[in-house]
Amino acid sequence: MRIWGYRKPMTAWQFGIRDAVDIALVAIVIYYVLRLIRGTRAEQMLIGVAVVLVVYELARMFDLLTIEWIFSQFFSVFIVVMVVLFQHEIRRGLMRVAINPLASGASPKDVVVDLLVESALSLVHREWGGLIVIERETGLKHLYDSGVEMDVALRPDMIQAIFCPDAPMHDGAIIVLMDERGGRVVAARVLLPLAQANALAGGFGTRHRAAVGLTEESDALVLIVSEERGEIHLAEEGKLSAPLGSAELRKELTKRLVYVSSRIQKRTLSES
């Protein structure tokens, strides 16, 4: 019969291959969880949870019955609280598992990178703003309804025509879908979910908050051109990059954009 709390003496414990595999798997899980929440709001919330646990242990140590009772009630619904607090990170983590995050990426679509860099620089030159969403593995069809669906080749002159301040579709974002033919603009004047007000510094406006908000909920890559600052940023995984020059932008896009696998099929236009 096994007695709870009984442990074998260290001299009798032998370290085997099964133990090594067990430790390695736990280490991998912890590593990916920490990488998932690094630099996000969940990191601060996790620190807060750790503080609560420390206070609870201190209350038990010094027999502070009231505080211990309050925290025991909190821990009775602890799983529900954790799901509510970390819902965005859990959603993003499950999406990563679904697309096999351990798989290596294929060759980047150099032609799409060139077109995106040229388009961004042309907007900066004209002092126009722009918001370009590059759809990756996570589908964004649910956002198409908030804008205007289209199916046109990605070209700098098309980007300029859309984001011209006098154009009827310059507000909102465009969505670019990569397929076997290259990049295509599949929707314009799209409304994106906004990040919380404290997610970004006060100097950034709605366009940047929308970019960060979308990348908190999907694996999309968002290119932002600021008309006020004349700067180019990338948003990914809920984080905003530093201002990027043309060479830096090309390097970052090349690193982050991979060839779309065969399971991403060309969107079929609905009959009007």
pLDDT at 13 over 70: no
Confidence at residue 261, expressed as pLDDT on a 0 to 100 scale = 38
Q: Is the pLDDT of residue 12 over 80?
A: no
Tens-digit pLDDT profile for residues 19-57: 888 899 999 888 877 776 665 566 667 788 788 888 888
Q: Is the pLDDT of residue 7 over 60?
A: no
Kindly state the percentage of the chain with pLDDT values over 90.
23
The pLDDT of residue 141 is 85
Contact 207, 171 (CB under 8 A): no
Is the per-residue pLDDT at 272 higher than 70? no
Q: Which of 39, 32, 42, 43 is nearest to 101 (CA)?
A: 32
Q: Any long-range contacts for 234-238 (C-beta under 8 Å, 24+ apart)?
A: 235/208, 235/211, 237/40, 237/92, 238/39, 238/40, 238/88, 238/195, 238/199, 238/212
Compute the distance between CA of residue 224 and CA of residue 132 in angstroms, rounded to an integer.
Answer: 7
**Tokens linked to 141:** 């069809």
Average pLDDT over residues 234-242: 90
Residue 131's DSSP bridge partners are 224
For the chain, what is the mean pLDDT?
79
From the list 87, 89, 88, 60, the residue with the least C-alpha distance to 75 is: 60
Q: What is the mean pLDDT of residues 13-18?
A: 78
Give which of 198, 199, 225 is closest to 212, Cα–Cα.
199
Domain ranges across the chain: 10-85, 110-256
- CA angle at 235 for the pair 229 and 236, rounded to the nearest 5°: 170
Beta bridge partners of 225: 130, 232
Over range 7-14, report the average pLDDT: 56
Predicted pLDDT at 186: 92
- pLDDT, residue 122, reads 92
For 170-181, what is each residue's pLDDT tens digit? 888 999 988 766
Between residues 1 and 120, which one has the greater pLDDT? Answer: 120
Class of domain 110-256: alpha beta
pLDDT interval class at 267 (50, 70, 90) = very low
Would you place residue 9 in the very low, low, confident or very high pLDDT band (cuts 50, 70, 90)? low
